[in-house]
Structures are given as C-alpha cells and as structure tokens.
A and B are shown apart, each in its own frame.
Chain A
Amino acid sequence: NAGVTQTPKFQVLKTGQSMTLQCAQDMNHNSMYWYRQDPGMGLRLIYYSASEGTTDKGEVPNGYNVSRLNKREFSLRLESAAPSQTSVYFCASSDPGQFNYGYTFGSGTRLTVV
C-alpha cells in the first residue's frame, strides 16, 4: 500500500547515544516533515523539507539533524540523545499541488531515552 514508512517502530536509547530515524514515502510527494508528539503538547514540527535538496528548521529543532537523501527519503538524526527527547516521532509527506492537500503520516517511532 502507498504511504509513509518509518523505521524503527520502537527504540530505547541510553543518554548520549546516537541514532537515525528513517522515513520513506512512495507517493511522489515533494514535501516531507518530522514531528514529535508529546502528551498535552500536540504535534510539534522539528524539521521539514519543502522539496528535494532543501531543509528548514521547525519549532523544536535543537538536538536534531535531518537529511533529505532523495525525493523519497527523509531521515532524522539524534546525535546525543537526552531524556527530554523521549517522545513519539512522526514523519509525514504532502503534495501542496493538490487542492485538498494534507499530510500523510507514518505510523510513528516510539523513542525512550533512559
């Protein structure tokens, strides 16, 4: 089925460890996004890529880096994980050329930093 695929689904890290969250979409969307979801905070944008070759900071970029590897793939890297980064991370993509556009979200990565 077409959509957004995120890996891994679950991860436990120790403080200071690094990891990369992977995201791929097969809908030929130009724009891709990384959000984190925390209780009572809703969804907050970490980074986004409006098109292949560009990335921009969102609302909460500190402690994260991203790479738009190609049109399909957009990865999120935690260089030195901290307990404050414990969250559920969602990747999304969209095609702003559509009239009723919206995000297609992946199923999320639940990250715990201990």
Chain B
Amino acid sequence: EPEVTQTPSHQVTQMGQEVILRCVPISNHLYFYWYRQILGQKVEFLVSFYNNEISEKSEIFDDQFSVERPDGSNFTLKIRSTKLEDSAMYFCASSEPLSYEQYFGPGTRLTVT
C-alpha cells in the first residue's frame, strides 16, 4: 500500500542552524501539508501546498519557514534559523484530488539544542 515517507526520522540541530525536513508524498496525490506536534501537545497545522504554491498557512508558519517541491516527488520544509521552541515532531501529509482524507508520514522528530 502506498505511504508517505519522511526523512530523517530524528534530527538534532543547534539553535540558529538551518534544517530541511524531507517528505515523499503518495505519488498521485496533489495536496501536501506540514503539521507539527510539540511533545504532549496538540497537532498544529503549519501549511498546505497545491499546484506549486502555498494554499494556506498558519500563524506559526512565519518567515523562518519555507516549503518547496524541488522535483516531482519530494516536498520539503525548511526552517532557516531554528529556535529551541521549534523542537517538535513534524508530520507531512498528502491527499488526492477530490478527497479530504489526509495520509500522514511517520514524522521527523526535531530536537533543537
């Protein structure tokens, strides 16, 4: 069964460093999302992406964040200058056209020290 994959599974970085989290959505899906979940807290929407542009973004998704679909398969989230409070589990999700069901990847645990 097709699934969303994410790499790396765990990323440790120092405050102020840039990180890129990678996702490979399901191949025929056209809508892509990033969410984050701080340990023990709720899932929070970051951004949705369709047709090579951002469709929606939350207040969390400030100028430090960017997303890109550099080729036909990858979908990336970049954090330019990480802060301690960026430590969280980051989930990528995708959905197919005309469907509202989102399929999530296993997540990348980002630890900022």
* Genuine A/B complex: no
- Residues of B near any A CB (own CB < 8 A): none
- Residues of A near any B CB (own CB < 8 A): none
